Amino acid sequence: MNKALKILAFAGLSMATVLCQGCGDTIKLNGAGATFPYPLYSKWFSEYHKLRPNVQINYQSIGSGGGIQQIKAKTVDFGASDAPLTTEEEKSMPGEVLQIPTTAGSVAVVYNLSGVPSGLKLTQNVLADLFLGKIKKWNDPRIAAVNPGVSLPDLPVAIVHRSDGSGTTYIFTDYLAKISEEFSKTVGRGKSVNWPMGIGGKGNEGVAGQVKQTPGALGYLEFAYAVQNKLPYVALQNKRGKFVDPSPETTTAALAALNKELQKDVRFSVTDAPGENSYPISGLTYLIVYKDQKDPKKGKILLEFLNWAMNDGQKLAPGLHYSPLSAELVQENAAKLGSIAVK
């Protein structure tokens, strides 16, 4: 039996089902949630449909908060969130849920600054003070000090943030709360926070749009969206004091630095990770599924898809600017998936 068939067999499918790729009625799976991994998820769903033409996976990219609400209401077959469920949130669900990390990405700090097409650097404290509203102009001496030779304009900084409940916001504020005591006390971390100022954008797409159309803008979004929208991004100072660009490689470095902690608890925060090459605002993203699948047809297809995503799907991550999971996390996910009951 080849690898692909082994994966499908692990998902509880018979050999007849495996061979009958295009047979039977169309089965639709519905999901909703995080915009952070949407470029990769969209590719996954498309590629999987090529393998199983009778399977359609529809996904609403509405933000992590919306995804959690919809899986709780059981209006979708799976939810998606970049912010892991807390113990309290898990207990509030109408049934036992599993949180399956699917990929990792980085939150890029992007800007719109005429004359500065790339190469801007920011230290930890300067980044925090920008989003606290304490630094108001681009030519502020503190920004200029770490960007010698860069012609910074006398232009107001226009902060752009998410307006919806967002796992990207959770990862970003989790980082800022770690590196700035003032940010932790006054803004805090969460999927939705009370920003001191700024322009709101819905989804990573909305933030990208606001930054592109606003001179002097500074915002945060998942790295793939920065690349897709050709937005310049900041090299951020990491825990070791090195300025690091977001990339699949520097996100992988952050995950590797905390691999032992993640094996104990996949909810462990990977922002501000140690390591010389770790990008400081990295994070995992998760699919949330019920352990007890009531619909046997949908349950089997969901399980099959998740196993595919943990194997062949991981190979597609780097090409879309995400980081594949470590072998240890894939193995942990396999054990979780093996515990799903399909009635």
Q: Which two structure tokens, joined as six digits, stand for 252?
A: 């992988």
Q: Is the pLDDT of residue 180 over 60?
A: yes
Q: Domain 106-248+269-282 classified CATH 3.30.310.10?
A: no
31's enclosing H/E stretch is strand 27-33
Task: Give a three-class secondary structure readout of 260-318.
Answer: HHHHHCCCCCCCCCCCCCCCCCEEEEEEEEECEECCHHHHHHHHHHHHHHHCHHHHHCH
**Per-residue pLDDT tens over the stretch 295-323:** 999 999 999 999 999 999 999 999 999 99
Instruction: Please name the residue ranges forming H helices in 20-108.
Output: 38-51, 64-72, 87-92
Q: How confident is the model at residue 5 (pLDDT cuts 50, 70, 90)?
A: very low
Catalogue the long-range contacts made by 306-309 (C-beta closer than 8 Å, 24 or more residues apart).
Answer: 306/11, 306/100, 306/333, 306/337, 307/7, 307/8, 307/10, 307/11, 307/334, 307/337, 308/7, 308/48, 308/51, 309/44, 309/102
| Average pLDDT value over all residues in the chain | 92
> What is the CATH number that goes with domain 3-105+283-342?
3.40.190.10
Q: Cα(51)–Cα(35) distance, rounded to whole angstroms?
A: 25
User: What is the structure's pLDDT at 342?
Assistant: 87
User: What b/e sequence results for 168-204 when a residue is b if at least 16 CB atoms lie within 10 Å of its CB, and e otherwise?
Assistant: bbbbbbbbbbbbbeebbeebebbbbbebeebbebbbb
Average pLDDT (279-297) is: 96
Q: Which two structure tokens, joined as six digits, stand for 301?
A: 């297809």
User: What is the structure's pLDDT at 226?
Assistant: 97
Please check whether the two domains, 3-105+283-342 and 106-248+269-282, share a CATH topology: yes
Q: Which two structure tokens, joined as six digits, stand for 299?
A: 């349950």
Backbone φ and ψ of 60, nearest 5°: -100, 115
Q: Cα(297)–Cα(295) distance, rounded to whole angstroms?
A: 6
Q: Cα(296)–Cα(67) distance, rounded to whole angstroms?
A: 23
Q: CA 165 → CA 179, 193, 224, 287, distances in Å?
A: 22, 9, 20, 16
Q: CA 245 → CA 168, 179, 280, distances in Å?
A: 17, 18, 9
**Per-residue pLDDT tens over the stretch 15-74:** 334 434 445 689 999 999 999 999 999 999 999 999 999 999 999 999 999 999 999 999
Identify the weakest region by mean pLDDT among 12-16, 108-112, 128-132, 331-335: 12-16
Instruction: From 201, 232, 309, 182, select the one nearest 173 (Cα to Cα).
Output: 182
Residue at token pair 């898990």: 90
DSSP symbol at 181: H
Q: Is the pLDDT of residue 145 over 50?
A: yes
User: Residues of the chain with pLDDT > 90: what percent?
Assistant: 90
Identify the weakest region by mean pLDDT among 16-25, 245-254, 262-271, 329-338: 16-25
Q: Cα(210)–Cα(1) distance, rounded to whole angstroms?
A: 51
Task: Name the residue ranges covered by the structural domains of the chain.
Answer: 3-105+283-342, 106-248+269-282
